[in-house]
Amino acid sequence: MLYPQRLTQLTKEHTDAVAAILCGVLLFLGWFALHLGFLGWALLLLPAAYVIGGYESAREGLTTLIKEKELDVDLLMIVAALGAAGLGLWRKEYHLIIDGAILILIFAISGALEGYAMQRTERSIRSLMSLTQDTARVLRLGQEEVVPISQLKVGDEIVVKPGELIPTDAVIISGYSTINQAAITGESLPIEKTIGEEVFAGTLNGYGALHLKVHQPPESSLIQRVIRLVEQAQDSAPPSQQFIERFERRYARFIVLAGLLLAILPPFIWGWSWEVTIYRALTFLVVASPCALMASIMPTLLSGIANGARQGILFKNGAQLEMMGKVRAIAFDKTGTLTTGQVQVFKVIPNSGYSSEDVLKSAASVESSSEHPIGNAIVQAASALDWVKAVEVRAIPGQGIVGLYEHKQTIVGNATFVKQHVTVLPDDLQDAACLLEEEGKTVVWVAQESVVLGVIAIADLVRAEATTAIAQLRKLGVQQIVMLTGDNQRTAHNVAQAVGVDRVYAELLPEDKLHIIHRLQQEYHTVAMVGDGINDAPALAQASVGIAMGVAGSDIALETADIVLMADRLEKIAVAMHLGQRAQATVKQNIIIALSFIVLLLIGNFLGSINLPIGVIGHEGSTVMVTLSGLRLLRK
């Protein structure tokens, strides 16, 4: 599914390459003609080489000059080439015209090469999209009918056969299968899905036949949104790039000024001949241009972003990729992040005078409006009981939830929160809660009006990979790993011990989490926060890098976080970090290479030990070198 504008881009790369080749052929013929003494032919062929090879750069350079009143390197190149040609005609030193043509040729070749390099990162991201189907099999009046995806409507029923791609985001209404979600999450291990579960466009159906109901328009499917995000990431220049671009503009003006001075002053100061002076001034224009510097950052970051996208790691922009390489401290949310968040009711202890059913029913009635994992667990546990949804429900993030059930105010939440509403927390229940918390269970209190009905202990499993994931992060140089939770101290410490974090902060409200991130930033500068993106939004926003995980489905996380891990796997954090470190190191290397070349060529030119073609080769060579070096980030 290529968009028209991509197609024009493709043909553009193509014309660039053809222009470069034509320019090369004309240059060769011109050189040959000059050698054989056919001056007339040479003066016909060489200008043609100039026009064909330099047309695109001249057009771009002039557009920038006219529209933005800015000089860019394209224009400098053309001026240098024309200068060489002019000098050649004037002094009847026709080899200078060849020098100028070589400049144009090499500039055209490297332009085509860079275009190709950019296209590779683009293609790499497009490969996400190649996984999407064009058609779907719809059931209409009992008949299967093949229709284009764009004609699918919400409510349509579609059929997916074994081994086929899922055409659009939909919910399974019958059937059972294993689904390979690698296209979205980067995880190639298939997962089992059945009735009621959501499947995503671009994922691969396993052995079962599935009937699906389309529940959202195809254009807002997860993979489409992911592709849009990655495209936006490509378009937004990170601060380092913006800095270099601002620098380039000022620098280009400086080069022109310096070039002019170099073309005028040396005969008076050092007694250079005019010919040598102008030739060196032209070479100066070429070698001093910051092309390589300009190409040091973006190709690298784009390659990194593309690589991440293929592994189910979405960087919202290049800046976040760079930032991820600098992280020195990481804060993890507990519930749903270090733990699986697939929580279950472990035990219900009623207060005297009440039954377990009373406790569960009241709790479920308010929790049925909650998005919190605890709420889900309670509703699930009460599914066989008879209760109705509470009204006027209000969730207080990090504390609990209240609502009206059977005309009574019903409160579910942690001890501190419930204590504000009731007269006493019975001693025997407090003791029981304490024991459960030491085992790592989360205990919530249920009260009605001012009376405690009982407590519910919730069990949550620590993720199996948590310990290894944290060890990997330490190996990558993270100095401080902390856990933040709204849960109580005892439960928190139990989990912390199991996974091996450095510090634990418990009984936090969402805004407390933000303050802790702030404090960590003062100590460690670059701090990442990993959360589920729903109740951790303030902390995610405060962190230098906010990472949301396991969100194949949740919109909020996709919007608020800087980095989104599509798979529900903690190891991906280390992968993202490693990628960030590689990107950072490559950018640094590139800048050093670019600057070294500029300095060396400038010195060589000043001493007269390089000619124009060598200057151009060094200059363009270093530009292509840093671009290709950036492309290494495409590799895993």
Contact set with ligand ADP (CB under 6 A): 333-335, 367, 370, 372, 374-375, 395, 398-401, 412-414, 442, 444, 485-487, 535
Q: How far is the CB of 485 from ligand ADP (least distance, A)?
A: 4
Pair 200, 223: CB distance under 8 Å = yes
Tell me how far the alpha carbon of residue 186 is from its chain's centroid: 14
User: What are the E-state strand segments in 472-549?
Assistant: 480-484, 503-505, 527-531, 545-549
Strands (E) located in 406-521: 408-413, 442-448, 451-459, 480-484, 503-505
Residue nearest to ligand ADP (CB): 486
Q: Check: CB of residue 378 under 8 Å from CB of residue 361.
A: no
Q: Which amino acid is at 526?
A: T
Question: How far apart (Å, rounded) are the C-alpha atoms in residues 428 and 534?
Answer: 34
Contact residues for 578 (Cβ-Cβ < 8 A; gap 6+): 476
Largest CA distance in the chain: 114
Question: Which residues are at the interface with Mg ion (CB under 5 A)?
Answer: 333, 335-336
The least CB distance from residue 569 to ligand ADP, in Å, is 18
The strand order across the sheet containing 442-448 reads 344-350, 451-459, 442-448, 408-413, 400-405, 391-396
Taking the complex as a whole, the smallest distance from the CB of residue 372 to ligand ADP amounts, in Å, to 4
Q: Is 333 one of the catalytic residues?
A: yes
CB of 511 to ligand ADP, least distance (A): 11
Nearer to ligand ADP, 293 or 446 (CB): 446
Distance separating alpha carbons of residues 458 and 437, to the nearest angstrom = 10
Report in angstroms the alpha-carbon separations of 476 from 136, 465, 523: 45, 17, 18
Nearer CB in complex with ligand ADP: 133/370:
370
Q: Which is nearer to ligand ADP, 399 or 611 (CB)?
A: 399
The entry of Mg ion, ligand ADP, none that residue 401 binds, CB within 5 to 8 Å by partner kind: ligand ADP
Cα–Cα distances (Å) from 238 to 233, 317, 574, 576, in that order, read 9, 7, 22, 17
Q: Which is nearer to Mg ion, 72 or 532 (CB)?
A: 532
- When the beta carbons of 401 and 548 are compared against ligand ADP, the nearer one is 401
95-129 helix and 73-91 helix, angle to the nearest 10 degrees: 160
Contact in structure between 172 and 196 (CB atoms under 8 Å): yes
Find tokens 């378009």 and name the residue: 235
495 binds, among Mg ion, ligand ADP, none (CB under 5 to 8 A by kind): none
β-strand 313-315 against 563-565: which pairing, if any? antiparallel
CB under 5 to 8 A by kind: which of Mg ion, ligand ADP, none does 412 bind?
ligand ADP
DSSP 397: T
Minimum Å gap between C-beta 491 and Mg ion is 13
The whole-angstrom separation of Cα 132 and Cα 83 is 52
* Angle, CA of 393, 395 and 401, to the nearest 5°: 80
Cβ at position 375, least distance to ligand ADP in Å: 4
Planar angle of CA 220, 224, 229, nearest 5 degrees: 110
User: Which stretches of 385-426 are DSSP H helices?
Assistant: 415-419
**What's the closest the beta carbon of residue 312 comes to ligand ADP, in angstroms?**
23
* Residue 395 partner contact from ligand ADP, Mg ion, none using kind-dependent CB cut-offs of 5 to 8 Å: ligand ADP
Instruction: Name the β-bridge partners of 452.
Output: 447
442 binds, among Mg ion, ligand ADP, none (CB under 5 to 8 A by kind): ligand ADP
Find out whether 551 and 336 touch, Cβ atoms under 8 Å.
Answer: no
* Binding partner selected for residue 362 from ligand ADP, Mg ion, none, CB under the kind-specific 5 to 8 Å limit: none
Q: Which residue number, 513 or 569, has a Cβ lying nearer to Mg ion?
A: 513
Whether 324 contacts 528, CB under 8 Å: yes
- With residue 136 as reference, give the H or E element that holds it: strand 135-140
- As measured in angstroms, the least distance from the Cβ of 104 to Mg ion is 60
Query: Which residue's CB is nearer to ligand ADP, number 172 or number 444?
Result: 444
Closest to 395 (Cα-Cα) out of 379, 417, 377: 417
* Residue closer to Mg ion, measured from CB, 414 or 605: 414
Residue 88 interaction partner, one of ligand ADP, Mg ion, none, beta carbon < 5-8 Å per kind: none
C-beta of 451: minimal distance to ligand ADP in Å? 18
Partner in contact with 485, chosen from ligand ADP, Mg ion, none, beta carbon below 5 to 8 Å by kind: ligand ADP
- Measured CA to CA, the distance from residue 594 to residue 251 in angstroms comes to 15
Residue 340 binds: one of Mg ion, ligand ADP, none (C-beta under 5 to 8 A by kind)? none
- Please report how close the Cβ of residue 549 comes to Mg ion at its closest, in angstroms: 11
Angle at 230 between CA 227 and CA 234, to 5 degrees: 135
Instruction: Characterize the bridge pairing of strands 442-448 and 408-413.
Output: antiparallel
Nearest residue to Mg ion by CB is 335
Nearer to ligand ADP, 401 or 598 (CB): 401
From ligand ADP, Mg ion, none, which one binds at residue 382 (CB under 5 to 8 Å depending on kind)?
A: none
Q: Which is nearer to ligand ADP, 56 or 532 (CB)?
A: 532
CB of 112 to ligand ADP, least distance (A): 52
Name the catalytic one among 16, 72, 333, 532.
Answer: 333
Q: Which residues are bridge partners to 475 per DSSP?
A: none
Burial class (CB in 10 A: 0-12, 13-18, 19+), 348: buried
- Given Mg ion, ligand ADP, none, residue 99, with its beta carbon under 5 to 8 Å by kind, binds none
Nearest to Mg ion of 296, 335 (CB atom): 335
Q: Kindly list the catalytic residues.
A: 333
